[in-house]
Structure 1
Amino acid sequence: MGIKVNKKLIFFLGALGGLLYGYDMGVISGALLFIRDDIPLNSFTEGLVVSSMLVGAIFGSGASGPMSDRLGRRRVVFIIAIIYIVGALILALAPSMPILVLGRLIIGLAVGGSTAIVPVYLSEMAPTEQRGSLSSLNQLMITIGILSSYLINYAFTPIEGWRWMLGLAIVPSVILLVGVAFMPESPRWLLEHRSEKAARDVMKLTFKDSEIDKEIADMKEINSISESTWNVLKSPWLRPTLIIGSIFALLQQIIGINAIIYYAPTIFNKAGLGNATSILGTVGIGTVNVLITIVAIMIIDKINRKRLLVIGNIGMVASLLIMAILIWTIGIQSSAWIIVACLTLFIIFFGFTWGPVLWVMLPELFPMRARGAATGVAALVLSIGSLLVAQFFPILTEVLSVEQVFLIFAAIGVCALIFVIKYLPETRGRSLEEIEADLRSRTNAANANIEETK
């Protein structure tokens, strides 16, 4: 099971993969300003260097979910840490564009694994009444990782040290590798694959004694249904929820956040800011992102998930529309600080709603026996969405104006708002087993109604 440690350290280590995801997602934005001085890049190859990480993430998220259901969450995290280290070393030493792409592909495997495993692990370790805030640690660590990458980028800007920027991901990767020894396995996985005693021993670390018996009883009831992971994953009763979860994940990525994370310095450059000022602008955005995520952790278990998402949608769409109108009115060269302000406003609304709520809700939506695999499928779709933005944003900004591109993101935000209101279920305040039982009963009832009408 690993060395017994206190609750705070368990959740910190469990979420550390999110920090690495955020770091590798954010660091490329500053490094791109200097990579092109050593390695020639055009708009397509620039997008390829950024998006190749997401290609790797597609495979990593698709494979890590089923692997974690079979091997356990903890072992897969150990593998992910090793992959992060290898990828960071290749990037730091890359002599050419193809090697850069290779390093980003390898890093992507670990990123995909993190997006699939970290939310599941945190959700399964957390008591019901704290599941929202504790699961949100993943998003907090992602934002800290992004901010860390921006700070590192700024620190190495005077020497144009893009290799240092990319290579320093090794440090948290090694911490994660060592930290696995202090992480217990998920109690839900232990109950299914080891023993009730092993599950109870772990639950004593994070649950109140009065809660353990009920949680164990609920888990055993779900476990009594003899279905394999694959059968659950392809079952008609899960399919609608899997589609909803996947669309949810896709929308979070194409709503505009990744255009900001990957290309904010490039956008600021186009608005007339210098390299150092552009990177400093991203530091400000990254700081706001961290602070607002801390606010989200404090409120996420007090407000319904769907209400938060609706608030976020309205705020994000409004900030994009205001920015687009002002750029169109006064021109991009006069809009540098307007762009910074509007993107910061976008980050605020994303940071306390869509950012953390997705990572909380995905594991909540899926049943225990296929939670890792189903979250992996949604994470795979998420990576595809991130890939699309990373690859095509620089091309779009050459074909269209910046304000036209952000109007497209605003339209996607409106579609996301309709999706949340119409299709997404509410999960706050219910145990994972209660959500699963309700999902099964609702779907079985729907199937029965269909049969009756035939």
Structure 2
Amino acid sequence: MPVNNSKRRTSNKMMTFFVCFLAALAGLLFGLDIGVIAGALPFIAKEFNVTPHQQEWIVSSMMFGAAVGAVGSGWVSSSLGRKKSLMAGAILFVIGSLWSALATSPEMLIAARVLLGLAVGIASYTAPLYLSEIAPEKIRGSMISLYQLMITIGILGAYLSDTALSYSGDWRWMLGVITIPAALLLIGVVFLPNSPRWLAAKGQFYDAQKVLDRLRDTSEQAKRELDEIRESLKIKQTGWALFKDNSNFRRAVYLGVLLQVVQQFTGMNVIMYYAPKIFEIAGFTNTTEQMWGTVIVGLVNVLATFIAIGLVDRWGRKPTLVLGFIVMATGMGVLGTMLHLGIHSAGAQYFAIAMLLMFIVGFAMSAGPLIWVLCSEIQPLKGRDFGITVSTATNWIANMIVGATFLTLLTNLGNAGTFWLYAALNVVFIILTLCLIPETKNVSLEHIERNLMQGKKLKDIGSRD
């Protein structure tokens, strides 16, 4: 019997990681579509002779589609399930990538990127939600951080692809190559099980038990988790009705909105979308230098995400966030000061880039993955689809604002003023984290829900008291 139990634990653990890895592939496509535009944009601007304002719209149109996709994902995910939502996203990734590569005008490219945005919105909504409902609580933070790691790997992959293709200037291949991983995701999703929490919410308790039996170490553990899910399902209100009638649920929704605004206004996606432009500001005027500098940005982003995966379930969400915001504020502040004083030597150039990379480390180890972790943890089961829909849509609206205003901010505030603005925002986020954000490490979703619904302060809903 002990041998059989050991085999079961090994088999189920492998199954859990397989499921989580496949779901996280959605993050890879998310990252590819974020990163690819940075390298392609200079060549698109040259071929279509577009203005800086039009460039902002080419960049931010994807975020508009993502906001719409995130809103629609709530209904699709609730009605059809997490698995079918991910499948729909994969199909849209394939179509959008091909359409982008074949675009013959800025308007057609913008339309294609809106469609890609729908796919990204579905992925950014469904994948963290699915992972939070599949992963055991002891590794839940790490598994959702794996999703963020896949995003960073996707960004790096896009930067490498862009750099390799930059010598020929073929931006169509830059955009079209994403079709390949999109097709692989579509195939992989077929093998994913449905979320046990979604199955239970639909009254399919037998099927939910079967999924949990495949993913947990023992039958007793699976049964105990299903019992907790049954208990949380006794709250009959859902979505908008729960939002209107329950002030505690509204607090969770508003916190999710705040978390996503915080993540976007750190300034990270400014770097992701406009990395070659930032290297130009720092004095690297050669296109090859800018492209390889962008690759370094992507590589640091990937490596620093491993810090989050190592810390999130050991050190905790809150202290990791505070440290990250301190690092980001310092990096942006020093970079802004250097741009104000002027960068007149090679040493100053490389120090400026070191500050930029320091900022990226701060984001990748903290706000990048942990905001998604927290947003998936704080919403009660009966209102989870609605709460995560609102917070994910907020993410993309804020993302669109950031992408559509950076070049304008550079014009109006200057290079130094723009980076000082983002440094100041990160200081504000330290205070917000200390005052409002809970610590949810090693706490079950059902326990967090009970604390929330009992009216505990937001920063205390992860407490075990």
**Aligned partners of 1:7 and 1:228: how far apart in 2?**
29
Specify the alignment match of 2:293 in structure 1. 281
Alignment-mate amino acid for residue 437 of structure 1: R
Q: Does 1:434 align with 2:447?
A: yes
Shift of 1:412: 0.8
TM-score normalised over the length of structure 2:
0.92
Is the contact made by 2:242 and 2:383 (CA closer than 8 Å) also made in structure 1?
yes
**1:168 deviation in Å?**
1.1
Partners in 2 of 1:157 and 1:183 — Cα distance?
Answer: 37
Judged with a 3 Å threshold, the aligned counterparts in structure 2 of structure 1 residues 175 and 324 are, in CA distance, closer, same or farther, namely same
Secondary structure at the counterpart of residue 455 of structure 2: helix
User: Which whole-Å CA distance do the structure 1 matches of 2:18 and 2:272 have between them?
Assistant: 28
Aligned positions of 1:249-268 closer than 5 A: 249-268=260-279
Please list every run of 5 or more consecutive structure 1 residues that lacks an aligned counterpart in the other structure.
Answer: 446-454
Superposed CA deviations along residues 271-325 of structure 1, whole A, max 9, x for unmatched, are: 3321111110111111111111122212210012111110011111011111111
The TM-score, its normalising length taken from structure 1, stands at 0.94
Give runs of aligned pairs for residues 182-193 of structure 1, distance below 5 A. 182-193=191-202
Matches within 5 A, 1:84-103: 84-103=93-112
Preserved CA contact (<8 Å) 2:305 2:365? yes
Q: Secondary structure at the match of 1:400?
A: helix
| Aligned mate of 1:224, from 206, 210, 234 | 234
> Are 2:121 and 1:80 aligned?
no
Higher relative contact order (CA 8 A, sep 6+): 1
The answer to whether 1:320 aligns with 2:332 is: yes
Corresponding position of 1:451? none
Tell whether 2:381 aligns with 1:368.
yes
Matches of 2:439 and 2:74, distance apart in 1:
24
User: Contact 2:236 / 2:382 at 8 angstroms: preserved in 1?
Assistant: no
Equivalence map 1:47-446=2 (5 Å): 47-209=56-218, 210-234=220-244, 235-273=246-284, 274-331=286-343, 335-442=348-455
Distance 1:444 1:411 in 2: 27
For 1:224 and 1:327, how far apart are their aligned partners in 2?
57
Shift of 1:372: 2.3
The residue type equivalent to 1:408 in the other structure is: L
SS of equivalent residue, structure 2 residue 247: coil
- Give the share of equivalent positions with the same residue, in percent: 36
Once the two structures are superposed, residues 34-92 of structure 1 have per-residue CA deviations (whole angstroms, 9 ceiling, x without a partner) of 11121111110000000000110110111102321121100111111111111111100
| Residue in structure 2 matched with residue 450 of structure 1 by the alignment | none
Report the more deviating stretch, 291-300 or 260-269. 291-300
Question: 1:333, CA displacement in angstroms?
Answer: 7.8
| CA contact 1:271–1:333 (8 Å) conserved in 2 | no
Q: Distance in 2 between matches of 1:14 and 1:304?
A: 23
Aligned partner letter, 2:382: R
Work out the CA distance in 1 between the residues paired with 2:295 and 2:136: 34
Distance 2:180 2:383 in 1: 33
What amino acid is aligned across from residue 345 of structure 1 in structure 2? Answer: M
Q: Which residue of 1 aligns with 2:40?
A: 31
Structure 1 pair 82–217 and aligned structure 2 pair: CA distance change class (3 A): same
CA change 1:41–1:441 in 2 (3 A) is: same
Query: SS state of the match for residue 128, structure 1?
Result: coil
CA distance in structure 2 between the aligned counterparts of 1:255 and 1:299, rounded to whole angstroms: 20
**Aligned-partner Cα distance in 2 for 1:264–1:336:** 15
CA shift in 2, pair 1:444/1:30, >3 Å: closer
Counterpart-to-counterpart distance in 2, 1:55 and 1:38: 24
Query: CA offsets, 1:11-45, max 9 Å, x none?
Result: 11111111111110111010011111211111100
Count of aligned pairs between the two proteins: 442
Specify the alignment match of 1:449 in structure 2: none
Question: Aligned equivalents of 2:300 and 2:205: distance in 1?
Answer: 43
Amino acid at match of 1:296: A
RMSD of aligned alpha carbons: 1.7
C-alpha displacement of 1:97: 0.6
Unaligned regions of 5+ residues in structure 2, if any? 1-11, 459-465
